[in-house]
Amino acid sequence: MNKNEEVKFTHSGFLKKNGKRTVFVRFERGKDVAEGTLPPGKITRNEGFSDEEVKGLENYLELKCDEIYEKAKELGSFKNLF
């Protein structure tokens, strides 16, 4: 496994979970996968990333949450086209 391999980030549009708007996020690096939600910006599933890396991913979510929310809104408007 190459820890220097590129980490890919994807996210959903806004979805309802327990009556609240939530964005699901996913980080992938080779076979390593980490998934979480915004809010609260926490990783809820991890396979292959170290604890330190998970903290870095959560920090990324905190720093980029406004940008991720804006892009999630755009995905929602595309969904309304169909």
* Predicted local confidence at residue 4, as pLDDT: 75
Q: Are 27 and 44 in contact (CB under 8 A)?
A: no
Question: Which residues lie below 8 Å from residue 57, measured CB to CB, with a gap of 6+?
Answer: 27, 34, 36, 43, 49
Whole-model pTM: value is 0.85
End-to-end Cα distance, the chain: 40
- What are 22-78's pLDDT values in tens digits? 999 999 999 999 999 999 999 999 999 999 999 999 999 999 999 999 999 888 655
What's the rounded Cα separation, in Å, for the pair 75 and 10?
12
What's the rounded Cα separation, in Å, for the pair 57 and 9?
10
Task: Give me the residue spans of the domains in the chain.
Answer: 8-74
